[in-house]
A and B are shown apart, each in its own frame.
Chain A
Amino acid sequence: MAKLVTDVVCPFCGTLCDDLEVGVSDDGTKILEVYNACAIGAEKFLHSQAKDRVTRPRMKQEDGSWKEISYDEAVEYTATTLAAARKPLMYGWSSTNCEAQAIGTEIGEMVGAVMDNTATVCHGTTLIAVQDVGVPSCTLGEILNRADRIVFWGCNPAHAHPRHMSRYSIFPRGFFTGKGAKGRKMVVVDPRVTDTAKTADIHLQVEQGRDYELLTALRVAFKGEWLPDTVAGIPKKTIYEVADIMKSGRFGIIFFGMGVTQSLSKNHNIDQAICVTRDLNEYTKWNIMPMRGHYNVTGSGEVWGWLHGFPFALDLSRGFARYNPGDTTSNDLLVRDEVDAVFVIGSDPGAHFPNSSVKKIWDLPSICIDPHLTPTTAVCKLHVPVAFVGVETGGCAYRMDNVPIECRKVVDPPEGMLTDLEFLERVTARVRELKGA
């Protein structure tokens, strides 16, 4: 008879579902079954059970082979590398808990690192837009209970955030939304006919790279001003119609994703989408929310926010915090040869960064903390495997609406493995000794 662990938080995407149930073997060592999760979330839990999992740190040798080393040796290499560097990059932080993020930041302070998270290639542009114009937003439960207009702009939750539509946005019946999906109008803006677009009431098939123009046209339409016959491939009649649908809702929400954050205009797309939302609040109630990717990328932005005031791309090298994306962002630093060591945790830049950046990581002293084998662990000099946060250890994570939730430990990690937090605490102690702080 297996044990059932309930109210488990899913450490996959920014939706951070907290209603999973996980069947565990009686001795508490094996995960047998995952209930309520989407296919990706379930896989995350089951993957931790892989037989071929690396459970001890490994150092790359001269001939390219890997040699198993102790955690003590891994701590020593990490601490001495960071302490010796003049401008180390400490990147990632999105798939670990806030406690690890906070202690990691202390290491960054002591060594004068640049701290950056995966927002740098994802929703960093959103954060820039928020700095320029703010953001009217809400928690996901507000959408469940109130929303009758839902816009998905440049995102595809059907695949990237699989339970989003059923838990929060389209289908559920909430306090003021007793009719569920029937009471909601759904608009999707996407150049592609995605599975999300197929379920929409209206699909605006925007011309690639012209979201900024289309968003501007909506603002013009709200004011009833003149528009060209087509904007971004959409006839003006449709734009006026969609503007009316948006204005006529009681409570609307725009969700947006990497289709607009990382295409032409980047932060300006989000800036203008936020201004669309601002405008709508003169007529009715609207909010806007980024579909954050990693389950705790939001948390790293919050931790750095309260410690140093910036949500990503913090340059601590001069003993205080500075911030300017374009200068202090990971890819700019790597490509411009501005860093002399790379530390990666809870992310996979080897898979997500441009090749020119990955080559620089390969050339530099480099450390990767990750439970998995990834393209990044392959290019780094040291790979430190750790326990899975949210599976083998708990800790705080922030949902896409900034709501913090405590992850649950479901099973023990393999014998002798450290968590992110434990490893970083040991590195902190050693760096403190080396720096005489």
Chain B
Amino acid sequence: MAEYLIKNGFVYDPVLGIKGDRTDVAVKDGKMVETSALSNPAEIDASGMTVMAGAVDIHAHVAGPKVCVGRNFRPEDKLFRATPQAGIKRMEGGFSVPTVLRTGYDYARMGFGFVMEAAMPPLYARHVHEEIRDTPIIDEGALPVFGNNWFVLEYLKNKEIENTASYIAWLMRMTRGYGVKVVNPGGTEAWGWGLNCPTVNDPVPYFDVTPAQIVRGLIEANEYLGLPHCMHVHSNSLGEPGNYTVTLDTLKQAEGIAPRNEFGREQVLHHTHLQFHSYGGESYASKSFESKSKEVAEYVNSQDNITFDLGVVTLDETTTMTADGPFEHHLTELNHLKWVNTDVELETAAGVVPYIYSPKTFIAGAQWAIGIELGLFSKDPMRTFITTDHPNAGPFIRYPRVYKWLMSKAAREDMLDNVLKYGDSVRDRCYIGEIDREITLFELAQMTRAGPAKALGLANMFGSLKPGMEGDVAVYPYNPETSEDPEDIERAFSNARYLIKGGEIVVKDGQVVSNGNKRTFWVDCKVNENPQVERDIAEKFKRYYSVNLANYEVYAHHYVPNPYVIEVDATQ
């Protein structure tokens, strides 16, 4: 395989502690190596450019049934937005919900090497994997959802952690899943009857277990198994004014639980798109609504076993999609736009609604501010990850714009003064105007590389240029010594000059030149035999599922043709 020497770039690597030194980086046979290990490398001149490891996205909705609904029911999202095929590159389409082809190409152009699909409905796992398979270049995994699963609800009602863990291990194998995702715990099952669980103490109808018990029980089961990633939660009452107390109540479920795994992961709870969960006030009106980002960030800063991602609102017309069924119904009642809902037997639900975050409204401006604030209030960039909860708060192609806002106070002031119609109210009801901090490139590398890689238990593969790591290197046309215009940040990080993925050049001179060799990551967790769980599974499939147990597992080669399996032994 090929050898590459990336010369003279400004290198940022949190793991190696390199903060913009001009140094050379070497790739050989698909891995990072010492420069001395190269014999006859192709050279890439990175002079005047920024060099980082390939980026890692911990939470995006990029593959599967609800994403596909978002595409298929929004032809207007694709109107006049197609890019023709060119060379090896296939046709691209879509804006807020791009096709899988555009998804892979856009991530590559932004210098990403790994993306986690944030919610996989188990019964639809095949669909998720078919989309992942057809997404070029980037490595991906998918998190099956557990927070409203009948097995989990029944086991956790009785505090049966071991049975919950056995079931998790089984379901991850059936679905080729990566970790434990929880969305609106209990609330989505309640939505089966048109109801919800707004706080962590509202018992789930019939199942009589609370969201707090579900969250804590799943953290314990996750650590019982010692999975690479921790329990990954979207808590109750997303998007509701005043919801920050529910968020704090959810985060507190992790108190006193220590991580237990062999992957170097140091946290037990990841809270996703925290922006949507850090609201004060009683309504969306500017008289009432307020930011509680400081209060939430302070709690996270005080606990070292929690990570989170931002979910920054990008002020676009986008498509919201979540397994939080009742939330999407609530949203369509507010904006009267088209609404898709899918309730999934025994497991979960999902909703999809288009949404316009208009800079002309106070609320969208305030939501924008809260996401940015969380990134700036957080003291530990290794536990703070940049996302837009794609496509919920905005499309992932806006990440570089988010970098700009985090890295430049001037860019934020420009938003407040010139873009937001109610910039003054936003200053008044949020903290954004008081914050001077500007994220550095080193911190950016922590928040987009080393941090998420570590939280996913992939620190031995991604997030650094250390010899032995995957050969994922991004070269951005950004000169940290000379660049002063914040727009340069957005421009440079939107289109890497080079991306080397798995040791192969996939972006060259800013153009996609290869469809890569993408892999699907999943976790195969071995547990002791558990006759009770086996009986329960057989029973539920016989009586309540609409498919036979023998037809549930994603086994055939064409779903996961290029797997990367992480094995976990939880038998001891």
Do A and B come into direct contact in the complex, CB within 8 Å?
yes
Which residues of A line the B interface, CB within 8 A? 6-7, 9, 18-19, 98-99, 102, 106, 109, 127, 130-142, 144-146, 167-168, 174-176, 250-251, 278, 281-282, 284-285, 287, 301-303, 305-311, 316, 318-324, 394-396, 398, 401-406
A residues within 8 A CB of B546?
A: 139-141, 144, 167-168, 403
Nearest Cβ on chain B to A412's Cβ, whole angstroms: 18
Interface residues of B in 300-347 (CB under 8 A from A): 329, 332-333, 337-346
Given contacts A321-B78, A323-B75, A402-B124, whether A145 and B84 have CB atoms under 8 Å apart is no
Contact with A along B130-171 (1 / 0, CB 8 A): 110010000000000000001000000000000000000000
Inter-subunit contact A320/B75 (CB<8 Å): no
Q: A142: which B residues are within 8 A, CB to CB?
A: 192, 343-345
- Given A306-B131, A402-B65, also A9-B193 (CB < 8 A): no
Residue of A nearest to B65 (CB): A402
Q: List 22 A-B contacts (CB under 8 A).
A: A7-B550, A98-B130, A99-B558, A109-B85, A127-B72, A130-B72, A134-B353, A135-B73, A136-B340, A139-B343, A140-B546, A145-B345, A167-B546, A174-B544, A176-B206, A251-B192, A281-B194, A301-B72, A306-B68, A307-B100, A310-B78, A405-B126
B341-379 to A contact mask, C-beta < 8 Å, 1/0 = 111111001001100000000000000000000000000
Cβ–Cβ contact A134 & B75, under 8 A: no
B277 within 8 A of A: no
B517 at the interface (CB under 8 A from A): no
**B78-106: contact bitstring with A at CB < 8 Å (1 yes, 0 no)?**
10001111000011111001011100000
* B548 lies within 8 A of A404 (CB): no
Residues of A contacting B338 with CB < 8 Å? 130-134
Q: Which residues of A contact B340 (CB under 8 A)?
A: 130, 134-137
Is the Cβ of A402 less than 8 Å from the Cβ of B78? no
Count contacts between A and B, CB distance < 8 Å.
195
Residues of A within 8 A of B91 (CB): 109, 308, 316, 319-321
Q: DSSP class of A's interface residues: helix, strand, loop or mixed?
A: mixed
Tell me if B71 counts as interface (CB < 8 A to partner A). Answer: yes
A283 to chain B: closest residue by CB: B194
CB distance from B70 to the nearest CB of A (A): 9
Query: Contacts A309-B93, A310-B75 given: A320-B343 contact, CB under 8 Å?
Result: no
| Closest partner residue, chain A, to B82 (CB atom) | A320
Contacts of B551 in A (CB 8 A): 7, 9, 18, 405-406
Q: Which residue in B65, B85, B343 is a CB contact (below 8 Å) of A319?
A: B85
A305 to B77, CA, bound (A): 13
Q: Is the interface of B mostly helix, strand, loop or mixed?
A: mixed
Cα distance A300–B545 when bound, in Å?
24
Residues of B502-543 whose CB lies within 8 A of A = 543
Contact (A285, B194) CB under 8 Å given A167-B546, A405-B551: yes
Contact B127 A18 (CB under 8 A): no
Known contacts A131-B74, A309-B71, then 18 further A-B pairs from the complex at CB < 8 Å, ordered by chain A residue: A19-B548, A102-B130, A106-B90, A131-B338, A135-B73, A136-B339, A138-B349, A146-B193, A167-B546, A175-B543, A175-B544, A284-B194, A305-B72, A309-B75, A310-B72, A310-B75, A316-B91, A318-B84
Contact of A308 among B93, B341, B543 (CB under 8 A): B93
Distance A287 CA – B191 CA, assembled complex (angstroms): 12
Closest CB in chain A relative to B394 CB, distance in Å: 19
Q: Which one of A141, A285, A287, A404 lies within 8 Å of B346 (CB-CB)?
A: A141
Indicate if the CB atoms of B99 and A306 lie closer than 8 Å.
Answer: yes
Residue numbers in B under 8 Å from A139 (CB-CB): 123, 342-345, 546
0/1 per residue, B541-572, Cβ < 8 Å to A?
Answer: 00111111011000110110000000000000
Q: Which residues of A contact B83 (CB under 8 A)?
A: 320
A406–B555 CB distance below 8 A: yes
* Contact of A405 with B193 in the complex, beta carbons under 8 Å: no
**B339: chain A residues within 8 A (beta carbon):** 133-134, 136, 278
**In the bound complex, how far is the Cα of B82 from the Cα of A281, in angstroms?**
36
Give Cα distance in the complex from A198 to B181, angstroms: 46
Least distance between B556 CB and chain A CB atoms (Å): 5
Closest chain A residue to B76 by CB distance? A131
Which 10 A-B residue pairs are closest in the complex by CB-CB distance?
Answer: A141-B345, A320-B82, A319-B84, A134-B338, A141-B546, A138-B343, A285-B194, A7-B550, A404-B126, A136-B341
Q: Min CB distance, A285 to chain B, in Å?
A: 4
A-side contacts of B72, CB under 8 Å: 127, 130-131, 301-302, 305, 309-311
B93 with A321: CB separation less than 8 A = yes
Q: Which among A132, A137, A316 is the interface contact of B341 at CB below 8 angstroms?
A: A137
The residue of chain A having its C-beta at the shortest distance from the C-beta of B78 within the complex is A309
> Chain B contacts of A135 at CB under 8 A?
73, 340-341
CA distance A98 to B94 in the complex (A): 22
CB closest residue in chain A, given B333: A282
Give the chain A neighbours of B341 by CB distance below 8 A: 134-138, 287
Is A396 within 8 A of B134, CB to CB?
A: no
- Which chain A residue has the least Cβ–Cβ distance from B544? A175
Q: A303 CB to closest chain B CB, in angstroms?
A: 8
User: Which of chain B's residues has its CB closest to A404's CB?
Assistant: B126
When the two chains form their complex, are residues A138 and B344 in contact, meaning their CB atoms are under 8 A apart? Answer: yes
Contact among A134, A146, A251, A405 for B352, CB-based, below 8 A: A134
B548 to chain A minimum Cβ distance, whole angstroms, is 5
Interchain CA distance A98-B352 in the complex, whole Å: 24
Whether A309 contacts B99 in the complex (CB less than 8 A), given A109-B85, A127-B72, A322-B82, comes out as yes
- Of chain A, the residue at the smallest CB distance from B194 is A285
Digitize B280-308: 1 where CB-to-A-CB distance is under 8 Å, 0 elsewhere: 00000000000000000000000000000
Residues of A within 8 A of B343 (CB): 137-139, 142, 287
Query: Which residues of A are found within 8 Å of B73, using beta-carbon distances?
Result: 130-131, 134-135
Q: Which residues of B contact A303 (CB under 8 A)?
A: 130
Task: Among A140, A167, A278, find the residue whose CB has the most chain B CB atoms closer than 10 A.
Answer: A278
Known contacts: A131-B73, A134-B340. The answer to whether A320 contacts B85 by CB under 8 A is yes
Closest to A319 in B: B84
Q: Taking CB as reference atom, which chain B residue is nearest A18?
A: B551
